[in-house]
Amino acid sequence: MNAETDMLDTLMKVLIVDDQRAIRTALEVLFEQYGIPTLAASSPDEVLDLIAREDVGVVIQDMNFRANETSGAEGVELFRAIRKLDGELPVLLMTAWASIEMVVALVKEGAADYIAKPWDDAKLVREVKKLLQLRTLADENARHRARSRRARQSLAGKADLCGLVYSSDVMHDVVSLAVSVAPSDAPILITGPNGAGKEKLAEIVQANSRRRDKPFVKVNAGALPDELLEAELFGSEAGAYTGATKQRIGRFEAANGGTLFLDEIGTLSMVGQQKLLRVLQTGEFERLGSSTTKKVDVRIISATNVDLSRAIASGAFREDLYFRLNVIELRVPALAERPDEILSLAERFLAGFATGENGPAVLSRSARDALLAHEWPGNVRELQNRIQRATLVCRDGVIELEDLGLAKNSRPTQVDVAPRELDPERVSIEEALVRASGIVSKAAAELGMSRQALYRRMERLQITLERRPRP
Protein backbone atom coordinates (compact mmCIF):
# COMPACT_ATOMS: atom_id res chain seq x y z
CA MET A 1 0.00 0.00 0.00
CA ASN A 2 1.14 3.54 -0.66
CA ALA A 3 1.14 6.48 1.78
CA GLU A 4 -2.29 7.61 0.60
CA THR A 5 -3.75 4.15 1.28
CA ASP A 6 -2.18 4.11 4.74
CA MET A 7 -3.86 7.43 5.44
CA LEU A 8 -7.22 6.13 4.25
CA ASP A 9 -6.91 3.12 6.57
CA THR A 10 -7.42 5.53 9.44
CA LEU A 11 -10.52 7.14 7.93
CA MET A 12 -14.17 6.28 8.40
CA LYS A 13 -16.12 3.59 6.59
CA VAL A 14 -18.05 3.64 3.35
CA LEU A 15 -21.65 2.39 3.68
CA ILE A 16 -22.81 0.63 0.50
CA VAL A 17 -26.59 0.64 0.13
CA ASP A 18 -28.02 -1.67 -2.54
CA ASP A 19 -30.60 -4.50 -2.52
CA GLN A 20 -28.53 -6.55 -4.99
CA ARG A 21 -25.92 -8.73 -3.32
CA ALA A 22 -23.77 -8.87 -6.44
CA ILE A 23 -23.43 -5.08 -6.55
CA ARG A 24 -22.69 -4.84 -2.84
CA THR A 25 -20.00 -7.50 -3.19
CA ALA A 26 -18.44 -5.87 -6.27
CA LEU A 27 -18.16 -2.52 -4.48
CA GLU A 28 -16.76 -4.11 -1.32
CA VAL A 29 -14.05 -5.86 -3.35
CA LEU A 30 -13.23 -2.65 -5.23
CA PHE A 31 -12.74 -0.56 -2.07
CA GLU A 32 -10.86 -3.34 -0.30
CA GLN A 33 -8.18 -3.07 -3.00
CA TYR A 34 -7.59 0.52 -1.87
CA GLY A 35 -7.68 -0.20 1.86
CA ILE A 36 -11.01 1.56 2.31
CA PRO A 37 -13.17 -0.13 5.00
CA THR A 38 -16.81 -0.77 4.06
CA LEU A 39 -20.20 -1.64 5.50
CA ALA A 40 -23.15 -2.92 3.49
CA ALA A 41 -26.91 -2.65 3.85
CA SER A 42 -29.88 -3.77 1.75
CA SER A 43 -32.79 -1.98 3.42
CA PRO A 44 -33.57 1.52 4.69
CA ASP A 45 -33.93 0.36 8.31
CA GLU A 46 -30.54 -1.33 8.20
CA VAL A 47 -28.97 1.81 6.70
CA LEU A 48 -30.22 4.10 9.46
CA ASP A 49 -29.20 1.64 12.14
CA LEU A 50 -25.63 1.39 10.80
CA ILE A 51 -25.29 5.17 10.52
CA ALA A 52 -26.38 5.52 14.14
CA ARG A 53 -23.99 2.81 15.42
CA GLU A 54 -20.95 2.87 13.13
CA ASP A 55 -18.35 5.43 12.10
CA VAL A 56 -19.71 6.07 8.61
CA GLY A 57 -17.91 8.64 6.49
CA VAL A 58 -19.66 8.28 3.12
CA VAL A 59 -22.88 6.60 1.94
CA ILE A 60 -23.13 5.16 -1.58
CA GLN A 61 -26.87 4.82 -2.06
CA ASP A 62 -28.69 3.05 -4.86
CA MET A 63 -31.99 4.74 -5.65
CA ASN A 64 -34.05 1.52 -6.10
CA PHE A 65 -34.50 -1.22 -3.50
CA ARG A 66 -37.15 -3.49 -4.90
CA ALA A 67 -37.28 -5.52 -8.09
CA ASN A 68 -39.19 -3.74 -10.85
CA GLU A 69 -39.38 -0.57 -8.69
CA THR A 70 -38.20 2.22 -10.96
CA SER A 71 -39.87 5.34 -9.56
CA GLY A 72 -37.04 6.01 -7.08
CA ALA A 73 -39.55 7.04 -4.38
CA GLU A 74 -38.04 4.72 -1.80
CA GLY A 75 -34.56 6.07 -2.58
CA VAL A 76 -35.77 9.64 -2.14
CA GLU A 77 -37.33 8.78 1.22
CA LEU A 78 -34.12 7.09 2.40
CA PHE A 79 -31.93 10.00 1.30
CA ARG A 80 -34.10 12.46 3.23
CA ALA A 81 -34.07 10.18 6.28
CA ILE A 82 -30.26 10.09 6.16
CA ARG A 83 -30.12 13.88 5.88
CA LYS A 84 -32.43 14.18 8.87
CA LEU A 85 -30.29 11.81 10.91
CA ASP A 86 -26.96 13.41 9.91
CA GLY A 87 -27.19 16.47 7.69
CA GLU A 88 -23.41 16.61 7.17
CA LEU A 89 -22.92 12.98 6.05
CA PRO A 90 -21.94 12.86 2.33
CA VAL A 91 -24.35 10.75 0.24
CA LEU A 92 -23.23 9.64 -3.21
CA LEU A 93 -26.28 8.58 -5.27
CA MET A 94 -26.09 5.71 -7.74
CA THR A 95 -28.69 5.18 -10.45
CA ALA A 96 -29.22 3.20 -13.63
CA TRP A 97 -32.08 5.39 -14.83
CA ALA A 98 -32.16 6.80 -18.29
CA SER A 99 -33.60 9.97 -16.74
CA ILE A 100 -31.64 11.60 -13.94
CA GLU A 101 -33.88 14.55 -13.10
CA MET A 102 -34.67 13.16 -9.66
CA VAL A 103 -31.06 12.65 -8.57
CA VAL A 104 -30.18 16.11 -9.85
CA ALA A 105 -32.96 17.47 -7.62
CA LEU A 106 -31.52 15.54 -4.67
CA VAL A 107 -28.08 16.99 -5.33
CA LYS A 108 -29.72 20.39 -4.95
CA GLU A 109 -31.12 19.15 -1.62
CA GLY A 110 -27.64 18.28 -0.40
CA ALA A 111 -26.47 15.03 -1.98
CA ALA A 112 -22.71 15.04 -2.62
CA ASP A 113 -23.03 13.87 -6.25
CA TYR A 114 -24.38 11.02 -8.36
CA ILE A 115 -22.82 8.21 -10.41
CA ALA A 116 -24.57 6.24 -13.14
CA LYS A 117 -24.51 2.47 -13.43
CA PRO A 118 -22.40 0.87 -14.68
CA TRP A 119 -19.81 2.92 -12.86
CA ASP A 120 -16.22 3.77 -13.66
CA ASP A 121 -14.05 2.17 -10.94
CA ALA A 122 -11.31 4.80 -10.97
CA LYS A 123 -13.74 7.72 -10.94
CA LEU A 124 -15.78 6.18 -8.12
CA VAL A 125 -12.71 5.54 -5.95
CA ARG A 126 -11.40 9.07 -6.51
CA GLU A 127 -14.76 10.55 -5.53
CA VAL A 128 -15.07 8.40 -2.41
CA LYS A 129 -11.52 9.21 -1.29
CA LYS A 130 -12.25 12.90 -1.67
CA LEU A 131 -15.50 12.67 0.29
CA LEU A 132 -13.88 10.62 3.05
CA GLN A 133 -11.12 13.16 3.46
CA LEU A 134 -13.58 16.06 3.53
CA ARG A 135 -15.74 14.24 6.08
CA THR A 136 -12.71 13.52 8.25
CA LEU A 137 -11.63 17.15 8.09
CA ALA A 138 -15.16 18.34 8.93
CA ASP A 139 -15.29 15.99 11.93
CA GLU A 140 -11.89 17.19 13.13
CA ASN A 141 -13.07 20.79 12.83
CA ALA A 142 -16.26 19.98 14.72
CA ARG A 143 -14.27 18.32 17.50
CA HIS A 144 -11.94 21.30 17.62
CA ARG A 145 -14.88 23.70 17.87
CA ALA A 146 -16.37 21.59 20.65
CA ARG A 147 -13.08 21.59 22.57
CA SER A 148 -12.77 25.34 22.10
CA ARG A 149 -16.33 25.88 23.30
CA ARG A 150 -15.71 23.75 26.40
CA ALA A 151 -12.50 25.68 27.11
CA ARG A 152 -14.34 29.01 26.86
CA GLN A 153 -17.13 27.76 29.10
CA SER A 154 -14.61 26.48 31.64
CA LEU A 155 -12.78 29.82 31.72
CA ALA A 156 -16.05 31.76 32.04
CA GLY A 157 -17.06 29.47 34.90
CA LYS A 158 -13.99 30.16 36.99
CA ALA A 159 -13.13 33.75 36.04
CA ASP A 160 -14.91 37.09 35.76
CA LEU A 161 -14.80 38.01 32.07
CA CYS A 162 -16.70 41.28 32.59
CA GLY A 163 -19.28 40.42 29.93
CA LEU A 164 -16.73 39.89 27.15
CA VAL A 165 -18.09 37.99 24.14
CA TYR A 166 -15.65 36.05 21.96
CA SER A 167 -15.44 32.74 20.11
CA SER A 168 -12.05 32.60 18.37
CA ASP A 169 -9.06 30.60 19.54
CA VAL A 170 -6.75 33.60 19.19
CA MET A 171 -8.93 35.68 21.50
CA HIS A 172 -9.30 32.80 23.94
CA ASP A 173 -5.52 32.57 24.24
CA VAL A 174 -5.31 36.29 25.07
CA VAL A 175 -8.13 36.16 27.63
CA SER A 176 -6.70 33.02 29.24
CA LEU A 177 -3.31 34.67 29.61
CA ALA A 178 -4.94 37.79 31.07
CA VAL A 179 -6.74 35.69 33.69
CA SER A 180 -3.64 33.66 34.52
CA VAL A 181 -1.42 36.71 35.13
CA ALA A 182 -4.11 38.74 36.89
CA PRO A 183 -3.30 37.54 40.45
CA SER A 184 0.28 38.78 40.19
CA ASP A 185 1.32 42.42 40.51
CA ALA A 186 3.44 42.36 37.36
CA PRO A 187 3.01 45.38 35.04
CA ILE A 188 1.01 44.53 31.93
CA LEU A 189 1.20 46.16 28.51
CA ILE A 190 -1.89 45.65 26.33
CA THR A 191 -1.30 46.25 22.63
CA GLY A 192 -3.61 46.25 19.65
CA PRO A 193 -5.62 48.58 17.41
CA ASN A 194 -8.09 51.10 18.76
CA GLY A 195 -11.56 49.73 19.36
CA ALA A 196 -10.40 46.09 19.62
CA GLY A 197 -11.07 45.74 23.36
CA LYS A 198 -7.90 46.76 25.18
CA GLU A 199 -9.78 48.50 27.99
CA LYS A 200 -12.09 45.50 28.42
CA LEU A 201 -9.04 43.26 28.78
CA ALA A 202 -7.65 45.61 31.43
CA GLU A 203 -10.96 45.32 33.29
CA ILE A 204 -10.69 41.53 33.17
CA VAL A 205 -7.20 41.66 34.67
CA GLN A 206 -8.45 43.91 37.46
CA ALA A 207 -11.56 41.80 38.12
CA ASN A 208 -9.48 38.65 38.58
CA SER A 209 -6.64 40.19 40.57
CA ARG A 210 -6.13 40.36 44.32
CA ARG A 211 -6.83 44.07 43.95
CA ARG A 212 -10.34 43.50 42.57
CA ASP A 213 -11.97 45.34 45.49
CA LYS A 214 -9.49 48.22 45.37
CA PRO A 215 -9.56 51.32 43.14
CA PHE A 216 -9.28 50.88 39.38
CA VAL A 217 -8.29 54.30 38.04
CA LYS A 218 -8.24 54.98 34.30
CA VAL A 219 -6.38 57.83 32.63
CA ASN A 220 -5.77 58.64 28.96
CA ALA A 221 -2.05 59.31 29.21
CA GLY A 222 -1.75 60.59 25.66
CA ALA A 223 -4.38 63.28 26.25
CA LEU A 224 -2.45 64.91 29.12
CA PRO A 225 -0.56 68.06 28.08
CA ASP A 226 2.86 68.46 29.68
CA GLU A 227 1.77 71.49 31.73
CA LEU A 228 -0.99 69.46 33.44
CA LEU A 229 0.63 66.03 33.47
CA GLU A 230 2.38 66.28 36.83
CA ALA A 231 -0.66 67.66 38.64
CA GLU A 232 -2.94 65.07 37.00
CA LEU A 233 -0.79 62.06 37.86
CA PHE A 234 0.74 63.13 41.18
CA GLY A 235 -1.62 65.76 42.52
CA SER A 236 -0.99 69.33 43.62
CA GLU A 237 -1.15 71.59 46.64
CA ALA A 238 -3.21 74.74 46.87
CA GLY A 239 -1.34 77.59 45.22
CA ALA A 240 0.99 75.28 43.29
CA TYR A 241 -0.02 76.98 40.04
CA THR A 242 -2.40 79.65 38.86
CA GLY A 243 -5.94 78.57 39.57
CA ALA A 244 -4.97 75.85 42.08
CA THR A 245 -7.24 76.97 44.93
CA LYS A 246 -7.28 73.69 46.82
CA GLN A 247 -5.33 70.50 47.30
CA ARG A 248 -5.78 67.96 44.52
CA ILE A 249 -5.27 64.19 44.73
CA GLY A 250 -3.43 62.75 41.70
CA ARG A 251 -4.24 59.53 39.86
CA PHE A 252 -1.40 57.56 41.48
CA GLU A 253 -2.56 58.50 44.95
CA ALA A 254 -6.20 57.77 44.07
CA ALA A 255 -5.20 54.29 42.84
CA ASN A 256 -3.15 53.42 45.96
CA GLY A 257 -3.70 49.75 46.80
CA GLY A 258 -5.34 49.16 43.45
CA THR A 259 -4.60 49.47 39.74
CA LEU A 260 -3.78 52.40 37.48
CA PHE A 261 -4.74 51.92 33.82
CA LEU A 262 -2.67 54.18 31.55
CA ASP A 263 -4.37 54.16 28.17
CA GLU A 264 -2.67 55.46 24.98
CA ILE A 265 0.72 55.27 26.69
CA GLY A 266 2.43 55.31 23.29
CA THR A 267 1.46 58.96 22.72
CA LEU A 268 2.82 60.21 26.06
CA SER A 269 5.34 63.01 25.57
CA MET A 270 9.02 62.52 26.40
CA VAL A 271 8.61 64.80 29.42
CA GLY A 272 5.71 62.68 30.63
CA GLN A 273 7.65 59.47 30.01
CA GLN A 274 10.54 60.70 32.15
CA LYS A 275 8.26 61.62 35.06
CA LEU A 276 6.35 58.37 34.82
CA LEU A 277 9.56 56.33 34.77
CA ARG A 278 10.74 57.87 38.03
CA VAL A 279 7.64 56.91 39.98
CA LEU A 280 7.63 53.41 38.46
CA GLN A 281 11.25 52.90 39.55
CA THR A 282 10.82 54.11 43.13
CA GLY A 283 7.10 54.04 43.85
CA GLU A 284 7.57 57.57 45.22
CA PHE A 285 6.44 61.02 44.10
CA GLU A 286 5.70 64.52 45.41
CA ARG A 287 2.58 66.48 44.79
CA LEU A 288 3.15 69.56 42.70
CA GLY A 289 4.05 72.37 45.10
CA SER A 290 5.01 70.01 47.93
CA SER A 291 8.37 68.69 49.16
CA THR A 292 6.80 65.76 51.02
CA THR A 293 7.54 62.40 49.42
CA LYS A 294 4.65 59.98 49.15
CA LYS A 295 4.86 56.27 48.46
CA VAL A 296 2.13 54.25 46.80
CA ASP A 297 1.37 50.59 46.07
CA VAL A 298 -0.08 50.60 42.56
CA ARG A 299 -0.22 47.99 39.86
CA ILE A 300 0.30 49.43 36.38
CA ILE A 301 -1.63 48.29 33.32
CA SER A 302 -0.88 50.29 30.18
CA ALA A 303 -2.27 50.11 26.68
CA THR A 304 -1.29 51.40 23.26
CA ASN A 305 -2.11 51.05 19.59
CA VAL A 306 1.37 52.33 18.70
CA ASP A 307 4.19 49.99 17.68
CA LEU A 308 6.49 50.80 20.59
CA SER A 309 9.44 48.96 19.04
CA ARG A 310 9.34 51.36 16.10
CA ALA A 311 8.77 54.28 18.44
CA ILE A 312 11.88 53.30 20.43
CA ALA A 313 13.92 52.99 17.25
CA SER A 314 12.84 56.47 16.16
CA GLY A 315 13.59 57.97 19.56
CA ALA A 316 9.94 58.73 20.34
CA PHE A 317 9.65 56.32 23.28
CA ARG A 318 12.08 55.49 26.08
CA GLU A 319 13.38 51.95 26.03
CA ASP A 320 13.83 51.85 29.82
CA LEU A 321 10.18 52.84 30.32
CA TYR A 322 9.11 50.20 27.80
CA PHE A 323 10.77 47.45 29.81
CA ARG A 324 9.21 48.78 33.01
CA LEU A 325 5.76 48.60 31.48
CA ASN A 326 6.12 45.43 29.43
CA VAL A 327 6.71 42.60 31.89
CA ILE A 328 3.67 40.83 30.42
CA GLU A 329 2.31 41.78 26.99
CA LEU A 330 -1.26 41.01 25.97
CA ARG A 331 -1.91 41.58 22.28
CA VAL A 332 -5.57 42.08 21.41
CA PRO A 333 -6.16 40.98 17.80
CA ALA A 334 -8.04 43.21 15.40
CA LEU A 335 -11.61 42.14 14.61
CA ALA A 336 -10.44 41.32 11.08
CA GLU A 337 -8.24 38.60 12.62
CA ARG A 338 -11.25 36.94 14.26
CA PRO A 339 -14.02 37.17 11.63
CA ASP A 340 -15.95 34.27 13.16
CA GLU A 341 -16.83 36.60 16.05
CA ILE A 342 -18.44 39.32 13.95
CA LEU A 343 -21.96 37.90 13.87
CA SER A 344 -21.95 36.71 17.49
CA LEU A 345 -20.85 40.17 18.62
CA ALA A 346 -23.49 41.76 16.42
CA GLU A 347 -26.17 39.58 18.00
CA ARG A 348 -24.99 40.55 21.48
CA PHE A 349 -25.13 44.25 20.58
CA LEU A 350 -28.59 43.79 19.05
CA ALA A 351 -29.83 42.30 22.31
CA GLY A 352 -28.29 45.17 24.26
CA PHE A 353 -29.94 47.82 22.07
CA ALA A 354 -33.36 46.14 22.05
CA THR A 355 -36.27 48.34 23.10
CA GLY A 356 -39.99 47.78 23.47
CA GLU A 357 -41.80 44.47 23.60
CA ASN A 358 -40.71 43.03 20.25
CA GLY A 359 -37.21 42.04 21.32
CA PRO A 360 -34.01 42.74 19.37
CA ALA A 361 -33.93 43.49 15.67
CA VAL A 362 -32.79 40.75 13.32
CA LEU A 363 -30.18 40.90 10.58
CA SER A 364 -31.20 40.22 7.00
CA ARG A 365 -29.02 38.01 4.85
CA SER A 366 -27.66 41.02 2.97
CA ALA A 367 -26.81 42.71 6.27
CA ARG A 368 -24.99 39.62 7.51
CA ASP A 369 -23.04 39.35 4.27
CA ALA A 370 -22.07 43.03 4.52
CA LEU A 371 -20.90 42.63 8.11
CA LEU A 372 -18.69 39.72 7.11
CA ALA A 373 -17.32 41.53 4.04
CA HIS A 374 -16.41 44.75 5.85
CA GLU A 375 -12.78 45.20 6.95
CA TRP A 376 -13.65 46.82 10.32
CA PRO A 377 -10.90 49.44 10.64
CA GLY A 378 -12.60 50.61 13.86
CA ASN A 379 -12.82 47.05 15.19
CA VAL A 380 -15.38 46.09 17.85
CA ARG A 381 -16.20 49.70 18.66
CA GLU A 382 -17.13 50.39 15.04
CA LEU A 383 -19.28 47.24 14.94
CA GLN A 384 -21.12 48.30 18.09
CA ASN A 385 -21.74 51.79 16.70
CA ARG A 386 -23.04 50.48 13.38
CA ILE A 387 -25.38 48.02 15.09
CA GLN A 388 -26.71 50.80 17.31
CA ARG A 389 -27.30 53.00 14.27
CA ALA A 390 -29.02 50.16 12.40
CA THR A 391 -31.28 49.42 15.38
CA LEU A 392 -32.47 53.02 15.39
CA VAL A 393 -33.16 53.37 11.67
CA CYS A 394 -34.35 49.91 10.61
CA ARG A 395 -38.00 49.20 9.79
CA ASP A 396 -40.19 46.43 11.17
CA GLY A 397 -37.36 45.07 13.28
CA VAL A 398 -35.31 43.84 10.29
CA ILE A 399 -31.88 45.34 9.65
CA GLU A 400 -31.05 45.66 5.96
CA LEU A 401 -27.74 46.50 4.31
CA GLU A 402 -28.50 50.21 4.02
CA ASP A 403 -29.33 50.44 7.74
CA LEU A 404 -25.72 49.59 8.58
CA GLY A 405 -24.30 52.36 6.44
CA LEU A 406 -22.12 49.80 4.68
CA ALA A 407 -21.68 48.99 1.03
CA LYS A 408 -21.06 45.32 0.33
CA ASN A 409 -17.33 44.61 0.02
CA SER A 410 -16.61 48.28 0.68
CA ARG A 411 -13.30 49.53 1.95
CA PRO A 412 -12.99 52.28 4.55
CA THR A 413 -12.70 55.85 3.30
CA GLN A 414 -9.12 57.06 3.44
CA VAL A 415 -8.21 60.49 4.76
CA ASP A 416 -5.73 62.59 2.81
CA VAL A 417 -2.98 63.02 5.36
CA ALA A 418 0.65 64.04 5.23
CA PRO A 419 3.24 61.27 4.80
CA ARG A 420 3.53 59.31 8.03
CA GLU A 421 6.64 59.58 10.15
CA LEU A 422 7.66 57.24 12.94
CA ASP A 423 6.12 59.45 15.59
CA PRO A 424 3.65 57.62 17.87
CA GLU A 425 1.52 60.69 18.49
CA ARG A 426 1.24 61.33 14.74
CA VAL A 427 0.33 57.67 14.16
CA SER A 428 -2.40 57.75 16.81
CA ILE A 429 -3.94 60.98 15.52
CA GLU A 430 -3.82 59.98 11.85
CA GLU A 431 -5.41 56.60 12.55
CA ALA A 432 -8.16 58.25 14.63
CA LEU A 433 -8.86 60.64 11.74
CA VAL A 434 -9.10 57.72 9.31
CA ARG A 435 -11.58 55.92 11.55
CA ALA A 436 -13.57 59.17 11.91
CA SER A 437 -13.60 59.67 8.12
CA GLY A 438 -11.81 63.00 8.60
CA ILE A 439 -14.33 64.43 11.08
CA VAL A 440 -12.12 66.15 13.62
CA SER A 441 -14.71 66.31 16.41
CA LYS A 442 -15.24 62.53 16.24
CA ALA A 443 -11.50 61.87 16.22
CA ALA A 444 -11.02 64.21 19.18
CA ALA A 445 -13.74 62.41 21.17
CA GLU A 446 -12.06 59.06 20.51
CA LEU A 447 -8.69 60.45 21.58
CA GLY A 448 -10.18 61.92 24.75
CA MET A 449 -9.41 65.57 24.01
CA SER A 450 -11.21 68.69 22.87
CA ARG A 451 -11.52 69.57 19.20
CA GLN A 452 -9.36 72.66 19.75
CA ALA A 453 -6.64 70.60 21.42
CA LEU A 454 -6.63 68.17 18.50
CA TYR A 455 -6.32 71.03 16.01
CA ARG A 456 -3.32 72.38 17.94
CA ARG A 457 -1.60 69.00 17.85
CA MET A 458 -2.39 68.58 14.17
CA GLU A 459 -0.78 71.96 13.46
CA ARG A 460 2.30 71.09 15.53
CA LEU A 461 2.68 67.74 13.74
CA GLN A 462 1.76 69.25 10.33
CA ILE A 463 -1.17 66.87 9.84
CA THR A 464 -3.55 68.28 7.23
CA LEU A 465 -6.93 67.28 5.78
CA GLU A 466 -8.60 68.32 2.56
CA ARG A 467 -11.19 71.03 3.10
CA ARG A 468 -10.39 71.10 6.82
CA PRO A 469 -13.13 72.99 8.66
CA ARG A 470 -12.32 75.87 10.95
CA PRO A 471 -12.42 75.17 14.71
Average pLDDT, the chain: 83
pLDDT digits (tens, 9 = 90+) for 436-446: 777 777 777 77
Cis peptide bond N-terminal to 118, omega within 30? yes
Quote the Cα angle for 275-278-284, to 5°.
110
pLDDT digits (tens, 9 = 90+) for 129-143: 988 888 888 888 788
Tell me the angle at which helices 101-109 and 73-85 cross, rounded to the nearest 10 degrees.
10
How far, in whole angstroms, is CA 83 from its chain's centroid? 32
Inform me whether the pLDDT recorded for 108 exceeds 90: no
CATH number of 169-331: 3.40.50.300
pLDDT at 246: 84
Q: Is 100 helix (H, G, I), strand (E, B) or coil?
A: coil
b/e burial code for range 408-444 (CB count within 10 A of at least 16 → b): eeeeeeebebeeeeebbbbbbbbbbbbbbebebeebb
Please, where in the chain does CATH 3.40.50.300 lie? 169-331
1-15, 134-148, 213-227, 449-463: least confident range: 1-15
pLDDT at 239: 74
- Strand 188-191 and strand 259-263: the pairing is unpaired
pLDDT at 10: 46
pLDDT digits (tens, 9 = 90+) for 317-336: 999 999 999 999 999 999 99
pLDDT at 411: 43
- Give the pLDDT band of residue 285 (cuts 50, 70, 90): confident
pLDDT at 420: 38
- Give the pLDDT band of residue 381 (cuts 50, 70, 90): very high
Inform me whether the pLDDT recorded for 174 exceeds 70: yes
pLDDT at 4: 44
pLDDT at 37: 92
| Cα→Cα distances 303→262, 323, 402, Å | 6, 14, 35
Tell me the angle at which helices 440-447 and 451-461 cross, rounded to the nearest 10 degrees.
100
69-83, 415-429, 452-466: least confident range: 415-429
Q: How far apart, in whole angstroms, are the C-alpha atoms of residue 251 and residue 294?
A: 13
pLDDT at 59: 93
Per-residue pLDDT averaged across 345-373, rounded?
87
Domain range 335-404, CATH class = mainly alpha
pLDDT at 236: 84
Inform me whether the pLDDT recorded for 468 exceeds 90: no
Whether the model clears a pTM of 0.85, i.e. scores above it, the answer is no
Q: Which of 103, 89, 77 is nearest to 135 (CA)?
A: 89
Q: How far apart, in whole angstroms, are the C-alpha atoms of residue 425 and residue 264?
A: 9
Q: How far apart, in whole angstroms, are the C-alpha atoms of residue 217 and residue 222?
A: 15
pLDDT at 287: 85
Q: From the CA atom positions of the chain, what is the Rg in Å?
A: 32
- Give the pLDDT band of residue 423 (cuts 50, 70, 90): low
Tell me if the domain spanning 3-139 has CATH number 3.40.50.300: no
Cβ atoms within 10 A of the Cβ of 64, count?
20
pLDDT at 255: 94
| Cα→Cα distances 437→374, 389, 418, 463, 466, Å | 15, 16, 15, 14, 11
